[in-house]
Amino acid sequence: MAGLEGVEQPWQHGSAVATRWAGATEDEQALKALELYGSPTDDEVRLPSRPESAAVARRLTHCVVVRQWDLSAQTAEHAVLLVSELVGNAVRHTGARVFGLRMLRRRGWIRVEVRDPSRGLPCLLPVQPMDVSGRGLFLVDKLSDRWGVDLLPRGKTTWFEMRIAERHSAPSS
């Protein structure tokens, strides 16, 4: 892991059993999150505006992208990172008690939305190599195909969209 040389990394040289266990635990937590909060593809999922809600949003996003939509691991990785950034901004900068997470899919695209009651607009700042914070929207800008903010009568929705490759099944004979 870049920048962490010399720091002991759990599971780094672990067995396949440890890797499977970690993956199974994440899957279980993702399924529990879906059961507890509902699917962000069915309706907006409302989460408490606390730092630990970012983990719930990541699990929900990963579960939807991988299990429901059957998209690539890279798409899931990028979507999880970007939802984490949007949720982090909503938790840190809005003073909201709750925020909403919604995920949409249409032919060739996925869209992830984070809604909060603040009308304060996020700001894309220039990023320097040694910056330790302020990279969230920079990442959203670089890894998504489009992103933006929709002002609402009471708050805003910050969203990103990513192009996806549709998987075509082989024609049956």
pLDDT, tens digit (0-9, with 9 covering 90-100), for 88-125: 999 988 888 999 999 999 999 999 999 999 998 887 87
Q: How many folded domains does the chain comprise? A: 1
Residue 151, in any domain of the structure: yes
Residue 77's SS3 state is: helix
Q: Which residues span the domain enclosing 93?
A: 41-163
Three-class DSSP category at 55: helix
CA dist 78 → 15, 141, 142, 161 (Å): 26, 12, 10, 11
The pTM (predicted TM-score) of the whole model is 0.78
pLDDT of 23-71, one tens digit each? 557 778 888 888 899 999 999 999 999 999 999 999 999 999 999 999 9
What CATH number does the domain containing 121 carry?
3.30.565.10
pLDDT value, residue 5: 44
Is residue 27 situated within a structural domain?
Answer: no
Residue 138: which pLDDT band, with cuts at 50, 70 and 90? confident
Between CA 15 and CA 12 the distance in angstroms is 9
pLDDT confidence of residue 105? 97
